[in-house]
Amino acid sequence: MAENDAAHLLLDHLPEVYRELAERIGHEALKRRLEKQALQESEQVWQGKNLLNPDRIPYFFETVEFLLKLSGIYDRGRRNFLDLKLVTNELSFKNLPEALDGLRILQLSDLHLDLEPELTPIILEHLEGLDYDLAVITGDYRDDTKGSITNCLTYVEQICAAIKKPVYGILGNHDPIELIPALESMGLPLLMNETVTFEKNGANLYLSGIDDPHYYEGHDFDKLRGTVPEGAFSILLSHAPETHKQAVELGYDFILAGHTHGGQICLPGRIVVIHNGDCPSYMLAENWQYKTVKGYTSRGSGGCRLPIRFFCPGEITIHVLRKENGH
Ligand SMILES: [Fe+2]
């Protein structure tokens, strides 16, 4: 699909898009999300809840850009941004069916593809020849939280064409709900408080995904209740890791999240200073555990507002799931 087709699908058919979305997620949920989207567009709100969130600090990104350019290290940050790392993350679960031992899941997150056009070809290069059984994208397809909703589509389309199926996605706090039909027409089904089943070697994995819990608060765990059979191995896609308590309550085994970018601009040793996470600091990047649920917060492949990274490389992640205590 060409960029124009995707944009037309969005902009020329909005009444139908809204009708279909209302049927899918409910009128009230759609109304709430559209109201929050309108507030965001009006620039009357900050997205962040914690005080050290860059979204809450006036002229944060402009100041950082100015200072880094002044000090001559901005270009280094941009080179870091484009130097994506392929991360293989092997972890074990007691509850994993034997037949799923060794299952490989590709996770992409926080692509923000319209920020830096040079990032997409680099992601495509990494994807070529990668071995995985299932792919997920954990939200944030566009750069800004307002403005054009179609600029990212031409890049997302290239990523979707390169990813082996099955692939599932969720929306992040940068993603307006109107993106859904365009993304799904590219072969990326979005999980909006929905659960699907993935089967391999005769065993099932239950994969649930929620709408953005961070700003739009479209997550609805009541809709997920009962969609995973008691005791079955299950994974939750949640744009931000702040849903860990609900995930434990519903018995999920693994949360795949993003949102934080791992800090994006860190101090040596990957020390996060300023971040947008509404979660304990140990959940800001990579592996963590909260009670019975394991989690992984991707640093993301892209970043937002400024195409720079320091001491916090972007990543493409392959999770290798192992059966705990033997193979
Ligand atoms: Fe993001």
**pLDDT digits over 168-191, tens only?**
999 999 999 999 999 999 999 999
Domain boundaries, the chain: 3-323
Q: What is the pLDDT of residues 104-151, one digit of tens each?
A: 999 999 999 999 999 999 999 999 999 999 999 999 999 988 888 889
Q: What is the pLDDT of residues 193-213, one digit of tens each?
A: 999 999 999 999 999 999 999
Lowest mean pLDDT among 53-57, 61-65, 167-171, 175-179: 53-57
Distance in angstroms (rounded) separating the CA atoms of residues 172 and 211: 7
323 CA to centre of ligand 1 in angstroms: 31
Which single residue is written with the structure tokens 């209302």? 22
pLDDT at 48: 63
DSSP 164: P
Of the two residues 327 and 20, the one the predictor is more confident about is 20
Using the CB atoms, write b or e for 62-91: b if 16+ within 10 Å.
eebbeebeeeeebeebbebbeebeebebee
In the chain, the amino acid numbered 70 is: L
- Has residue 65 got a pLDDT over 60? yes
Alpha carbons within 13 A on the beta-carbon side of 6 = 23
326 CA to centre of ligand 1 in angstroms: 36
pLDDT at 322: 98
Of the two residues 69 and 46, the one the predictor is more confident about is 69
Asked whether the beta carbons of 278 and 242 are under 8 A apart, the reply is: yes
pLDDT at 208: 98
pLDDT at 9: 62
59 CA to centre of ligand 1 in angstroms: 18
Distance in angstroms (rounded) separating the CA atoms of residues 54 and 266: 13
pLDDT at 113: 97
**Three-class secondary structure of residue 70 per DSSP:** helix
DSSP 168: E
321 CA to centre of ligand 1 in angstroms: 25
Q: Per CATH, is 3-323 categorized as 3.60.21? A: yes
Model pTM? 0.93
Distance in angstroms (rounded) separating the CA atoms of residues 123 and 260: 19
Distance in angstroms (rounded) separating the CA atoms of residues 275 and 279: 10
- Has residue 327 got a pLDDT over 50? no
Distance in angstroms (rounded) separating the CA atoms of residues 46 and 59: 13
244 CA to centre of ligand 1 in angstroms: 18
Q: What is the pLDDT of residues 243-286, one digit of tens each?
A: 999 999 999 999 999 999 999 999 999 999 888 888 999 999 99
290 CA to centre of ligand 1 in angstroms: 22
4 CA to centre of ligand 1 in angstroms: 25
201 CA to centre of ligand 1 in angstroms: 34
231 CA to centre of ligand 1 in angstroms: 32
109 CA to centre of ligand 1 in angstroms: 7
94 CA to centre of ligand 1 in angstroms: 31
Q: How confident is the model at residue 44 (pLDDT cuts 50, 70, 90)?
A: low
61 CA to centre of ligand 1 in angstroms: 15
301 CA to centre of ligand 1 in angstroms: 9
Q: What is the pLDDT of residues 4-32, one digit of tens each?
A: 566 666 666 778 889 999 999 999 999 99
